[in-house]
Structure 1
C-alpha cells in the first residue's frame, strides 16, 4: 500500500499546483508528479553512485518530453513512435539545465539524469513553466547532493498586471513574457521576450517572479523534510593534495594576474603566456612525480587562471583583450 506525500501551492488567481511523491517511479532516486488542473508532469531523477574515473566535470543530462498521448493523440503516418525531441522541448530542457547545473557541488562528478515527461495537457495551462519546479522537487525528495531547491515560473504582463504562469490564451495579450529560475536567495536564469519595455519594468517583473519562487522553494523544503531527505548521500569524487594546491596558487597566481593585466590583444600570445606559467611549474616538480601530479596541477592552475582573470576585471576594470 502506498502512502503518497502531497504538498500544494496556491497561486494568486486561485489555481493550485499539487506536488505528489511516493506513488510513481519509486525505483528512481527521486520522483514527483506535478499537477495544475489537468496538466500533469512526471519528473524523475537518477544518479550513479560513483563518478566515472577521469571525469572532472558535472555530467548532468536534462530531458523534457511532451508525449502525443498527453493531448489524446498518437503518432500517425509512416512513423508510429515518438520522434526526436522538438526544438521547443530542447529549449525547455536547457532552461531547466541552466538553473540546476550551478547548484550541484563543485566536486560532485557522478552522472545525473533528470527526466520530465508531460503526461496530460488540458490545452490551457502551459506545462513548460512547471518543468523547473518538477525537476527541483524530484531532487528535493532524493538523496542526491544538491544546493537547492530552485523553482521556475513564467511571468507575463497583461493589461498592466503581472500574472504568474499565465494560460495560453492569456499570453496572447502579454507585452512581457519571461521565465525566471531562482533559489530563495539568488536569481539563476532569465529567458523570454518583451515588447519595448524599460529596464525598470523588466526588473519589476523579475522581482515579482522571485517572490513567487521563494514561496515555492519553501514548499519544496517542507517536502524534503517530510520525505526525510534533508541529509544527502556521502561521496568522494576527487582526490586533492592541499599542499600542491597551495604551491600552485602561491607560485602561479601573480604571474597569471600579470598576463591578464597586460591586456595583450593577440589571443594566441596570451594563451601561450598562460601555458608557459603552467609548464614552468610542472618543470619544477621532480621527474619521477611529474606524471602522477600533472592532472592535479592542471586542475589547480585552471582555478588560478580563472580567478586571476576575474579579479583583474572586477578590481581594475581590465579585460583580457583590452576592451
Structure 2
C-alpha cells in the first residue's frame, strides 16, 4: 500500500533516517526524519498560482512541539497545544532564515512548511532534525528550491568540538552553535558562547559545515529515489530597457538622496524619486507598474552597492570600518532599579533592569517538563521608532528573535544564582531605529544591569556587520544602517566582552559566503566591539556596589533539611505567619536554602531571626528575647526561639515574691530570659530575674541559696496492719457538715475506715493493705 522510500546514514555516531511515502502523502513533499528516538514530520505544500498583485514571496514556516512526543499532557486550562511558545517561534525562524534565500527571484507562490515533533527522546534535540526534514521535504516536493541545506549543532568542551550534543553536554560546555549550510557555503549561524575567541568560533562553524554537507548528501540520495517532477517556471521578462529608462529618469535623484546622511531627509528624497517613476509609468498595466517598482529598488541597490564596493563610500559618508557616534547614559530613569539610554547614530534603546524575587521567575512548560528561568529579556519595537504608523501590541516573531539574540549575548556574563539570588528582567524599548537595534539592546542591557548592581563578569557590546559581494569582489562593512541591511548581502551580528565572543548570528541573502569572508567579518567585528566598549565605559565602567533603594533586598540562609518542615509548618501555617507578621517574602528550596526578601532591611532581619529561632537549638546559660504566650498559676510560658517555648516559674520572674503571675506579666509582653535547664524530654526551664529586662545583660543572682533540709530521723518499723491510734472518729478534717455522708463505719480489721475496696474498683483506688 505504501511506496516508502528511505535513506539511512551514520551522523555523529548516530543513525539519521529520512523517509517519505508513508505519512502525509497528499502534501507536495513530506519527510519523517528520525535521530535516535526523536522523530519529526515536515510537510510542504505550495500554491499552484500566484494571487493577483502579489509582489513578495509568501513563505510561512511553522514548527510545533507535540506534548505527546515526550509522554506529557500540556499544562494550563485547555490542556492542548495552543499558540506558539517562544521556543517554537525561534525554531520556526531557524528553519525560515536559511531556506528563504534559496528560492528564485520572482517566485511568489505561497508555500507552507509545517514541522511537528512526534517523538522526543530527551537527548536528540528536534530543532536540528526539523531543519533537515524541512530541507528534505522541499527538495523532493518539486518546488523551485535551490537546496538542499543541512543543519548541525556544535558544542565545545575541553578544546574539542561536539556534533549535535545533548542539553546536558551543552550546559557543561562553552558553546551552543547552530549552522545551516548548502554543500558549498554557510547560510545561517546562531550561537551562544562563553567568551570564546574568533579562532574557536570560526573553527566551530567550519566543523558544523562538514556535518551539514553529510546531511545534505543524504537528502540528495532521498531525492534521487522520491523527488517529484520540478515545476516549470515562466521565463523572466527582459526588463533591461525599462531599467535603463528609469535610470535615466531618476538615477541622479537616487544618487543625490543617498549622499544625505540624515535618514528622514534621505527618505523624503527617495520617496520623491519613486513618485516620479510612478507618474512616468501611469499609463502602463498594473503588472508593468509593479515590475517598475521592483526595478526602482534594484536601481537603488546598484547605486549604493557600487559606491561601497568601488569607492568605499557609504550612505552616511563613513568608510567600511567606522562605527557611528555613540552616546551612552547610565541611570537614565530615577525609579527603575537600573537603566541606560544607548544611542548609536540614529538607533536608540531605553534599557531597564528590574530585580525580583524567586516568585518572579518565568515558568516554562516544554517537552522536558516544567523549568524556571530567572533571567528574561524583552525587546519592543514600536512603529514610531522608524517614523511609521503601524500595529502596536503583542511582540511578533522578529521581536522575539531579536530579544533572544540579546539574551544569548548577556546570559554568558551573568552571576550564578548563589552569587546573586535575584530574578532579572531586562527590557529594551527601541525609540529610534536605523540599523542593528538588537545590538543596541545588548549594549544598553549591559549598562542597565551594571547600573542596577548586577555583578556581571564584564560589560558586553555588540555590532552588526554587512557584506557587499559582486563576483569575487567583496566589502565587509561595520555597524550597518537599515538601508545597508536591506540592500546588502549579509546581516552578521557579533557580541562579546573584552575576553571573547558571547553570541554570533548570521543571515545570508545570497547562496552563502566563503571562509575568507567569514574570517574577515569576525576580525573587523572584534575591532568594532572594542571601540563600542570604550564608549560605554565613559558612561559606567563598573558594576555599582549598592543596589537601588527601590530594589528588594535578598538575604540567603541555610537550614538543615530536617528542619524545613518546622519552618513551613502544617499546611504552611508557620511560614505564612512569618510572612504576615514580618512583611518579608520567604522562599525555601528543597536543599534547605532560604531566601528572605524585602525592600526594608528590618523586615528581613525579623524574618531571619524567626527562622533561625525555629531551626536552632537552645543553649543552657544563653540569654534570649522572647514573648509571653500563656499565663498559668505557677508561672508563664515564653516563646523565645520562634518555635520553642519554655517555662518561667513564678519563683523565677522576680527576685521578690510574686503572689499572682498576672500582676507581673501579660500575654504578648516581650521579655528577656536565660535558659536554666533543658531536661531529657526537651522541656526548657527559664529565668527572668537573672536578666536585666532593659539591657538584656545577665545579673548576679542575689537571692540566697535555699538551705538544704535537715534529714528526717528514723521513724522505726511500722507495725503490721497498724498506723497507731487515731483521734476519736476524726482524721483532722473537723466535724462534718450537715447532710454529709453520715456516720462513718467502724474501721474494719486491716485498717480501712471506708471498708474493704470493692472487687471492681480500679487498682489505683486499692490500698496496699487491702
Q: Which residue of 1 aligns with 2:39?
A: 40
When residues 284 and 40 of structure 1 are mapped into structure 2, their CA distance, relative to the original with a 3 A threshold, is: closer
When residues 282 and 2 of structure 1 are mapped into structure 2, their CA distance, relative to the original with a 3 A threshold, is: closer
When residues 237 and 89 of structure 1 are mapped into structure 2, their CA distance, relative to the original with a 3 A threshold, is: farther
Given that residues 138 and 145 in structure 2 are in contact (C-alpha distance below 8 angstroms), is that contact kept between their aligned partners in structure 1? yes
Worse-matched range after superposition: 132-141 or 310-319? 310-319
Deviations 1:41-64 (A, max 9, x none): 001000100111111111011111
**Cα distance, 1:238 vs. partner?**
7.3
Aligned length: 318
Q: Which residue of 2 aligns with 1:278?
A: 274
Deviations 1:159-193 (A, max 9, x none): 22111111122212110111001111111111010
Given that residues 44 and 112 in structure 2 are in contact (C-alpha distance below 8 angstroms), is that contact kept between their aligned partners in structure 1? yes
Distance 1:258 1:186 in 2: 36
Q: Which residue of 2 aligns with 1:3?
A: 3
Q: Which residue of 1 aligns with 2:292?
A: 297
When residues 216 and 98 of structure 1 are mapped into structure 2, their CA distance, relative to the original with a 3 A threshold, is: same
The answer for unaligned runs of 5 or more in structure 1 is none
**Cα distance, 1:20 vs. partner?**
0.5
When residues 78 and 271 of structure 1 are mapped into structure 2, their CA distance, relative to the original with a 3 A threshold, is: closer
Distance 2:195 2:205 in 1: 16
Query: 310, 316, 324: which is aligned to 1:315?
Result: 310
Distance 2:212 2:192 in 1: 20
Worse-matched range after superposition: 131-140 or 290-299? 290-299
Query: 262, 265, 268: which is aligned to 2:261?
Result: 265
Q: Per the alignment, in what secondary structure is the counterpart of residue 26 of structure 2?
A: coil
Distance 1:171 1:19 in 2: 25
Q: Per the alignment, in what secondary structure is the counterpart of residue 84 of structure 1?
A: coil
Distance 1:18 1:195 in 2: 33
Given that residues 8 and 17 in structure 2 are in contact (C-alpha distance below 8 angstroms), is that contact kept between their aligned partners in structure 1? yes
**Cα distance, 1:154 vs. partner?**
0.5
Q: Per the alignment, in what secondary structure is the counterpart of residue 20 of structure 1?
A: strand
Q: Which residue of 1 aligns with 2:104?
A: 105
TM-score, normalising length from structure 2? Answer: 0.40
Given that residues 18 and 36 in structure 1 are in contact (C-alpha distance below 8 angstroms), is that contact kept between their aligned partners in structure 2? yes
**Cα distance, 1:300 vs. partner?**
0.8
Given that residues 61 and 114 in structure 2 are in contact (C-alpha distance below 8 angstroms), is that contact kept between their aligned partners in structure 1? yes
Q: Per the alignment, in what secondary structure is the counterpart of residue 145 of structure 2?
A: coil
Q: Which residue of 2 aligns with 1:28?
A: 27
Given that residues 3 and 22 in structure 2 are in contact (C-alpha distance below 8 angstroms), is that contact kept between their aligned partners in structure 1? yes
Equivalent residues in 2 for 1:128-207, closer than 5 Å = 128-207=127-206
When residues 295 and 221 of structure 1 are mapped into structure 2, their CA distance, relative to the original with a 3 A threshold, is: same
Q: Which residue of 2 aligns with 1:225?
A: 224
Q: Quick check: which has more Rg, 1 or 2?
A: 2
**Cα distance, 1:265 vs. partner?**
1.9
Given that residues 62 and 113 in structure 1 are in contact (C-alpha distance below 8 angstroms), is that contact kept between their aligned partners in structure 2? yes
Distance 1:215 1:76 in 2: 38
Q: Per the alignment, in what secondary structure is the counterpart of residue 98 of structure 2?
A: helix
Distance 1:37 1:302 in 2: 47
**Cα distance, 1:241 vs. partner?**
4.6
Q: Which residue of 1 aligns with 2:498?
A: none
Distance 1:96 1:77 in 2: 28
Given that residues 155 and 161 in structure 2 are in contact (C-alpha distance below 8 angstroms), is that contact kept between their aligned partners in structure 1? yes
Distance 2:276 2:236 in 1: 25
More helix by proportion, 1 or 2? 1
Distance 1:237 1:85 in 2: 39
Given that residues 107 and 237 in structure 1 are in contact (C-alpha distance below 8 angstroms), is that contact kept between their aligned partners in structure 2? no
When residues 293 and 168 of structure 1 are mapped into structure 2, their CA distance, relative to the original with a 3 A threshold, is: closer
Distance 2:230 2:73 in 1: 40
